[in-house]
Amino acid sequence: MACARFTAAVAFGLLFAADSPAGGQSELPRTYIGKPTTAEITSADLMTRLYIFADDSMMGREVGTIYHLKSTAYIEGEVRKLGLVPAGEDGGYFQTLPVYRYYADSISTLQIGGKSMVFGADFFPYATAEHRISLDGVPVVYGGVLTDSATWLPAEDAAGKIVFFSVPSTSTPARNFQFSARSRFARSPLVLVGSLERIPQSVRPFFAQRMVFLKSDAPLLGPPTTFITTNVARTLFGTLDGLVAGMAGMALSGTIVLHRAQAPARNVVAILPGSDPALRGEYVAIGAHTDHIGFNNKPVDHDSTRIFNMITRPQGEDSPPAPTLTPAQALRFHAMLDSVHALHPARLDSINNGADDDGTGTVSVLEIAEAFAKANTRPRRSILFVWHAGEEKGLWGSQYYTDHPTVPRDSIVAQLNMDMVGRGSATDITGETRSGEFTHGGPGYLQLVGSRRLSTELGTLIESVNRRAHPALIFDYSMDANGHRQNIYCRSDHYEYARYGIPIAFLTTGGHSDYHQVTDEPQYIDYEHLAQVAKFVQAVAAEVANLDHRIAVDKPKPDPSARCVQ
Ligand SMILES: [Zn+2]
């Protein structure tokens, strides 16, 4: 590999060996174009793939954006080249998720007594459906205090009217403001809520543009809500003191225009058919997630952010935010930053590349697919490769896939999930024990979660495959403890399979200070470690796929619709 060496670690090593930003290892280049991949799972192949998949041009691969389309187009192109069998929809490799973008159109107007209110400042519509609501001549009525249903207007008095709710200044400005189609306000064309000036500017973008995963069991929504300021509400009712539900407000005019548009979100699904005609109708699923958390519009200095987090937030987003450094930490911070900036200039960064999360899992699944596809012999059972979308939003893709599987759900005998499998060095804080002590990585480090939760046999099989591996991995089960604070059994895609009684194993090299930060970039990945994990997962998949019996489920199956409990 043509990689620049990280010399600062050497120069600085005596004083700050454990603090060097590359964790004492060589630093890789920030951008890199690798050689074409080979049949084998190699660190070079994984590097070639990850520098493509986690490049800045992917802009953080947030689901619902064109960048997620771009990232999944790369996966699709690769599995097509490998000749895998498409197992998405319509004979292709993609499975589209029902993800929509909801937003209010700024052409919306609101006038009171002929005076125009300002969109966004005086009124702020919250989009829940495609809607065009004319306000002209619709009576306005006071509905009560939003947080106190005892004060609410009866259903028959609200029907056909615009209903305004006040919110006490001591209450959260925007909670439980959306009424359902079964609520008493279902027959009102619009609900107004008078707390707009208290909704922080920082959260308004999430209200203005919402990405929604439409589940089949989603509750039907009632009237849309538009927030107005207390001042606008006062104009409407003359005063806000002593209002009683049912009191009439001034007439409004104008139109609220709400939109819903399909947003890009798709799983990639491909099959390697098994070699045994009697068993190829069963599948060993291997998965990872393609999406990440996108980019922001507030660039920060990459190196100082990275070093600040190394010192104060060893688990990245999983550590509490640290506003300031102690004097001792500040000394370390400046020394480390100087050593890094001596090697390369400062640079601004605003893209969450998601190299480890879950670029590493994604490219590992691709490398495993390539290794299986180009091997002389195939496993007896089929291998089902699913690259999930929207994991970061709440396991959308895996939920959708398991609710709408493209092979019979009961034919999936196990699922192996890789999420963040490229770190786990001795300087990474990979997680915590149940009692709250930090865990560290090291050579061959791998966390296993859930591998015995449905099938003792799967857990035992994974260990026996490892005993035959050279070098063997070192398993850390501490994150798998029941009731663990970090709850990671419920936090990645494998759980959506487990809830249907499919034995799973979640494999990860664990957390680190770049977790969900703009600093999660391909040059900080340990590609040898990554290759070792990917090869191991391939070996486990082959072992399960070649068993003379279906792997046994000996633990109770959960209720698929119940909340996950670790
Ligand atoms: Zn993540």
Domain with CATH 3.40.630.10 in the chain: 7-97+265-546
Q: What one-letter code names the amino acid at 105?
A: D
DSSP 113: T
State the DSSP H helix or E strand holding residue 102, giving kind and residue range, or none if neither. strand 99-104
Domain with CATH 3.50.30 in the chain: 101-262
Residue 565 burial class via C-beta count within 10 angstroms: exposed 0-12, middle 13-18, buried 19 and up: exposed
Ligand 1 centroid – CA 494 distance (Å): 14
**276 — phi, psi (to 5°)?**
-100, 115
CATH topology of domain 7-97+265-546: Aminopeptidase (3.40.630)
User: Could you tell me which residues come within 8 angstroms of residue 388 by beta carbon, excluding any fewer than 6 positions away?
Assistant: 267, 287, 288, 289, 290, 291, 395, 396, 397, 398, 401, 493
CATH topology of domain 101-262: Glucose Oxidase; domain 1 (3.50.30)
At which residue do the structure tokens 């006062």 appear?
234
Pairing of the two strands 94-96 and 266-272? antiparallel
Q: In angstroms, rounded to a whole number, what is the distance separating the alpha carbons of residues 403 and 453?
A: 21
pLDDT of res. 322 = 80
pLDDT of res. 6 = 25
Ligand 1 centroid – CA 394 distance (Å): 10
Ligand 1 centroid – CA 357 distance (Å): 5
Biggest CA pair distance of the chain: 82
Ligand 1 centroid – CA 289 distance (Å): 9
**Over its length of 566 residues, how does the chain's per-residue pLDDT go in tens digits?**
112 222 222 222 223 333 444 444 457 999 999 999 999 999 999 999 999 999 999 999 999 999 999 999 999 999 999 999 999 999 999 999 999 999 999 999 999 998 999 999 999 999 988 999 999 999 999 999 999 999 999 999 999 999 999 999 999 999 999 999 999 999 999 999 999 999 999 888 888 888 899 887 677 889 999 999 999 999 999 999 999 999 999 999 999 999 999 999 999 999 999 999 999 999 999 999 999 999 999 999 999 999 999 999 999 999 998 878 999 999 999 999 999 999 889 999 999 999 999 999 999 999 999 999 999 999 999 999 999 999 999 999 999 999 999 999 999 999 999 999 999 999 999 999 999 999 999 999 999 999 999 999 999 999 999 999 999 999 999 999 999 999 999 999 999 999 999 999 999 999 999 999 999 999 999 999 999 999 999 999 999 999 999 999 999 999 999 999 99
Contact predicate 429/476, CB 8 Å: no
Ligand 1 centroid – CA 129 distance (Å): 29
Ligand 1 centroid – CA 239 distance (Å): 48
Ligand 1 centroid – CA 391 distance (Å): 7
pLDDT of res. 26 = 54
Buried b (16+ CB within 10 A) or exposed e, 120-131: eebbbbbbbeeb
Look at residues 172, 232, 165 and name the one whose alpha carbon lies nearest to residue 198.
Answer: 172
pTM for the full predicted model: 0.88
